[in-house]
Chain A
Amino acid sequence: MKVLAAYNIKGGVGKTAAAVNLGVLAARDGFRTLLWDLDPQGAASFLLRVRPKVKGGGRKLVRGRSDVPELLRGSDVDGLDLLPADFSYRHLDLALDGTKRPARQLATLLAPLAEHYDLVVVDCQPSISLVSESVFDAADALVVPLIPSTLSLRTFDQLLDYVRNEVERPPEILAFFSMVDGRKKLHREVIAQLPLDRPEVTTIAIPAATEVELMGIERRAVVDSAPRSRAAQAYRDLWTEIRTRFDLRPGQP
């Protein structure tokens, strides 16, 4: 079982849209996939039409006192299940802080699911905290959406620096461009230059498209609601890049 985490310190950069679309594409590709909505806002749960509620809340969950299989919900997509969000995840830092090895806690929680799933996609909450440390420890790879702007890039560099220097078992990192407006010169320039400077950054660019925004209305992944759109194609490209780069295969241990 491999764990991918859609992560960025900043909010509103396209993490949830990426996590949901990647989850759907993975399931369609034969991966037994679990999407873990770790963001208390519960956007991924909403998109998959599942009530953002976890029996016992986040504290009980991260302390290993919940029956995790009982919390799982099947989605409308064959092969994609969800571990829903809960509003109490906003206090997850505090809940983790009381555990023995907080940074290892999420990995420990996921371990028993390995026989049921090939892939876990975590939709992370925006922040850098004990929760993110635990995500970094559990994840094989971080999938980072980047808005092609100067500030975003600065934040990305901070993330790289932190993961490489502070995390005991640093995950791989793959960044892609998100919310791209092709009419903006800055966006075009950054997309042309950055992948040349940093091997972690791909040229894949998810456009700032109406179809992506409509996910909230349609409550479906773009790859299903608008499969011929540029955004859907970009998500498919992203999934192919992830599969290849991290050598993901269904059924692998």
Chain B
Amino acid sequence: MPTRCYLAAAESDALGLVAGLVDRVREASSALDADVGERVVTTRVVLDTADRRLRAARMDLAIETGGTGEGRAMFVLGGPAGAPELRVVCPRQRRRYLAGEIPRGALAERLAGIIGVRALLPLVELRREEIPVRVLDREAKTVVRLIVADLWALPKGSPEPLRLRSRVEVTGVLGYRRQFAQVDSAVGDAPDLATGTTSVVDDAVTAVAGSPGGLSSQVKVPVDGDEPAGAAARRVLRGLADVVEAQVPGTLDDLDSEFLHDLRIAVRRSRSVLRQMKRAFDPAARREQADSLRWIQAVTGPTRDLDVQLLEWDELAALVPEDRRVALGPAHALLVEQRTAALRTMKATLRSAEYRRHWTAWRLFLAVDAGVSGGSGGIDAAPPIRKLARRRVTALSERIVREGRALTAESPAEALHDIRKRGKELRFVFELFGPSLWPASDVKPRVSALKALQDVLGRFHDRHVQVDRLRALAPELANRPGGATALLAMGSLIDRLEADQRKAQADVAERLEAFARLHPRDLA
């Protein structure tokens, strides 16, 4: 339904606005009347994932108190367009909601597939005092809806609510376009109203100094192809360092597994830039920083590995015949215990002086402009980034093809994994520098062909690692109650995984040749 939003002048409030609007509606047409409802006062804690997946899906979720909940807190889900508002009792307010923690039923079903593994977190608290006005036709049928609302954002830890501008929302009813146009025109002509945005949440988030778009793990740093390689690479690395820093609080609070995942990806990309652009940096300084990043990757690795195992658990368990699935229970419990211990160790490390020392040194390294401060630039720091990036794309592509063609059925798993690692490095170069340096029509087919190759290499590697990890559980599992049965069920699971691994290996050659056909030298 069409909705128009108007923002009131700073000094206006809902009560004053309503009287004027009712008169305007009646003047607009003798066939229309207005019914003013009772003022409804609600407080809403707006929920979304850290990367605002609900916003992207044009949905709003909040826990509402007051309003129609008869004293109970209610989940209220609005949007996307056309879907009615959904209200579900919120049994217990939590600091976060993972998909499995949302009450089963319509709400969980509507959110499924949107939030994935991310947690819903409180984003901003909003107080709303609204007066509903129904515009009626001669049958007393609602033909347009108005909401006139006074709004406050409640910043965390501050007793002072921030007054937002009052707003009027005009919403049409299906089949009553003419009446909507009449009312909208009457409201739009009101002298104390101006057209506004439709998102109260964005306004409230902005008021409490947040970012409406949320946290992003993407780095979009525009690079000029003629820019010196050292300066361009550092600027991209600074963008990646911002991503790492933004993910640390959520990682320490263990809000969801994506914070740590995004942190590690940003570190991995940073290491890749250091490697691929190594001649743009002073060799000794680069080695030192590469060691620091490797250390961060290492101390965060065990928790992530266990996260992956637990996230994949249901999918893996589904590979075991149903009657033996329950026997896997002790293996799952062991993983949960191991993850708790790994998280504790990682949190202590991320809060340690050693971490601060590594990170401060990294930030200082990035703050120095290549070539300006003595010793911070390498031999390729000054030439244009386009040249260096193209050289790296060519070298990596040729090596992937060469090593890929040398693979045989007897090649060790490490050989396939090495190719996959080079594929990742190539993808990072494309992702971080490609959009600024080459036309999308050149980059996209190469990234697609690379992704198709990486998918099978990734599946091969994942299955290999899953088998190794399951085998690693065996010694401890054997001594636990139910351990022997669990080991038998795991044996059946390992058979399935190895079969899928062999299938992935068989697909590599075909994908490799598709990738090889797009020669990197043809890049503009």
Q: Which residues of A contact B (CB under 8 A)?
A: 27-33, 48-51, 71-74, 76, 78-81, 116, 219, 249-251
- In the bound complex, residues from chain B placing their C-beta under 8 Å from that of A76 are 134, 141-142
Knowing A30-B83, A49-B141, say if A74 contacts B106 (CB, 8 Å).
no
Knowing A72-B175, A73-B175, A79-B83, say if A29 contacts B140 (CB, 8 Å).
no
- Residue with the greatest number of chain A CB neighbours at <10 A, chosen from B1, B87, B140, B174: B174
How many angstroms between the C-alpha atoms of A30 and B439 in the bound complex? 45
**B174 is contacted by which of A27, A74, A249 (Cβ under 8 Å)?**
A74
A49 nearest in chain B by CB position: B141
Give the interface SS of chain B, mostly helix, strand, loop or mixed.
loop
How many angstroms between the C-alpha atoms of A78 and B87 in the bound complex? 12
Knowing A250-B109, A251-B110, say if A79 contacts B175 (CB, 8 Å).
no
A117 nearest in chain B by CB position: B82
Q: B86 near A74 (CB under 8 angstroms)?
A: no
**A74 is contacted by which of B85, B87, B139, B173 (Cβ under 8 Å)?**
B173
Q: B84 near A79 (CB under 8 angstroms)?
A: yes
How many angstroms between the C-alpha atoms of A30 and B88 in the bound complex? 10
| B interface size (C-beta, 8 A) | 22
- Given pairs A74-B172, A78-B85, 4 additional interface contacts (CB within 8 A): A28-B84, A49-B141, A71-B175, A79-B84
Q: Which residues of B contact A (CB under 8 A)?
A: 1, 77, 82-87, 106-107, 109-110, 134, 139-142, 172-176
- In the bound complex, residues from chain B placing their C-beta under 8 Å from that of A32 are 82-84
Q: A50 near B141 (CB under 8 angstroms)?
A: yes
**A250 is contacted by which of B110, B142, B173, B174 (Cβ under 8 Å)?**
B110
A11 to chain B, nearest CB (A): 25
Knowing A27-B84, A51-B139, A76-B142, say if A249 contacts B109 (CB, 8 Å).
yes
**A78 is contacted by which of B84, B106, B110, B175 (Cβ under 8 Å)?**
B84
**B176 is contacted by which of A73, A116, A219 (Cβ under 8 Å)?**
A73
Q: 25 A-B contacts, Cβ less than 8 Å apart?
A: A27-B84, A28-B87, A29-B106, A30-B77, A30-B110, A31-B106, A32-B82, A49-B141, A50-B139, A50-B141, A50-B175, A51-B139, A72-B174, A74-B175, A76-B134, A76-B141, A78-B84, A79-B83, A79-B85, A80-B84, A116-B82, A219-B140, A250-B83, A250-B110, A251-B109
How many angstroms between the C-alpha atoms of A71 and B140 in the bound complex? 20
A51 nearest in chain B by CB position: B139
CB-CB nearest 5 A-B residue pairs: A79-B84, A74-B174, A49-B141, A73-B175, A74-B173
How many angstroms between the C-alpha atoms of A152 and B85 in the bound complex? 39
How many angstroms between the C-alpha atoms of A156 and B142 in the bound complex? 38
Q: A73 near B174 (CB under 8 angstroms)?
A: yes
B382 to chain A, nearest CB (A): 56
How many angstroms between the C-alpha atoms of A219 and B86 in the bound complex? 23
- Residue with the greatest number of chain B CB neighbours at <10 A, chosen from A27, A48, A74, A250: A74
- In the bound complex, residues from chain A placing their C-beta under 8 Å from that of B110 are 30, 250-251
How many angstroms between the C-alpha atoms of A29 and B86 in the bound complex? 6
- In the bound complex, residues from chain B placing their C-beta under 8 Å from that of A28 are 84, 87
B139 nearest in chain A by CB position: A49
How many angstroms between the C-alpha atoms of A80 and B175 in the bound complex? 12
- In the bound complex, residues from chain A placing their C-beta under 8 Å from that of B84 are 27-28, 30-33, 78-80
